[in-house]
Structure 1
Amino acid sequence: MPARLRPADPEVVADALARLAAGEPARADLRVLTKHFLALLEQRAPGRSVEVRVPPYAAAQVVEGVRHTRGTPPAVVETDAATWIALATGDLTWPAAVEAGRVAASGERTDLSPYLPLGEPGP
């Protein structure tokens, strides 16, 4: 089970978003932003019925429902860091990401659109 994540310092997030907008993100920026926005999702959609995976950076269990404790969860969302950050900031919508195949979602409660975006749009 993934551990609960903590939002990053706002200044660190702003700096990472600025580098991302400039097309100069470092791997560390993607890691910080991924974990930050997953932490915000944990706060907005508490629960353990859906596992959101953003390899290789982090995963979080969210959304109320049947609690998952072992093995592969019945509901999984998986995407890359760039897509996750775009979804979290509102630069990409959930339906557009799913339609484009940028998000793999299987199981109940995997439509995260009610919880997105999570933060300020990217610069």
Structure 2
Amino acid sequence: MEVGKTTANDLGSLIKADLAALANDAGNLANSAVMAAAPVSGQALPAGFSFTQSMKDALAGVNAEDSAAAARMADVDSGKSDDLVGAMLASQQASLSFSMLMQVRNKVMGAVDDLLKLPI
């Protein structure tokens, strides 16, 4: 092999090593952020805190709000309820929650794209 040239396997192993180092650094950063955030909020986060689980919980919450708003609107439409204002407020709250979730998703995806664009 000539000096300055690498094979695809060498490049692949370098990328895997870099990804492993990034994952390790991200884990360390998450642990330090959890330790730093716990005294501010006054509550200790659980030992198994997971960003993935937090996102799943947020998604489930947004879905629940949307379902509740749809049920309230259906009750108003069918005449079971006359609380049109409450149904409209629930619908608006579900819409805002979904918008917020999409903004968080877009920020996370932007950060991942930025990480992928980093020079190796």
For Structure 1 versus Structure 2, the TM-score category normalised by the shorter chain is: under 0.3
Larger radius of gyration, structure 1 or 2?
Answer: 2
Structure possessing the higher relative contact order (Cα contacts under 8 Å, 6 or more residues apart): 1
Greater fraction of residues in strand: 1
Task: Name the TM-score, length of structure 1 as normaliser.
Answer: 0.26
Q: Which has the higher helix share?
A: 2
